[in-house]
Structure 1
Amino acid sequence: TIGSSNSYVLDSNLPALTKTPKRTRRSPSGAAKRTPLWDDNGVAALFRLRYKSQLSARFYSKNNADKKTAYVMLAAELSVATEKEYSVAQVQDKDSLRRLLNSLRI
């Protein structure tokens, strides 16, 4: 087209583009920190529910969604049995620790 140019005019009314800082993963300031909940009774209840209850068969499923559901159910049952709040992550961490210790035994 006649009279068009490829030069661009900066509008001084627009805000300057700046990099926004990356957000860090922090828990909200009002959130309670994770406290150690594992005592002898909690560990015993975890292993009893995990290996000697009706839930144990669910952990051998080939379907990962079924295994995830089993961990949710295990955390709920453990919380009821011990009257303490356990998350799925805490239960999985404890179970993976047990597997690690068993693999190290000679």
Structure 2
Amino acid sequence: MNIKELLLSQIEKVVIGLRYDFLYEDEFGPLLCQVIQRDSDGSVESTPLSFQIHINEEKGTGSLIYYQAEGEMNRQSFDIENPDSIVGILTFLTGILGPDPISSKK
């Protein structure tokens, strides 16, 4: 398993556990991800968070740039050899999307 697959699988587990959908696209340049909130009919209600992931597979490092509708909101770096950096990403996502999600803070 490469770093991209590992990171995406862990992010997806957190996002789905918080009752959102997780979509990503990496065919045309940077890895683009969206957290989607759906209504009771399954239609997209909102996109509370989007982010880009840049990964250097050889060095085992990378960064995430988070966006909301208003624009860039945060940046995080990670190093696969430092598990705390990966935990930091998952903790940040849980804090943003958790029990008091961003969509209810407005």
TM-score, length basis structure 2: 0.30
TM-score when normalising by structure 1: 0.30
The structure whose residues are more often strand, as a share, is: 2
Structure with bigger gyration radius: 1
More helix per residue: 1
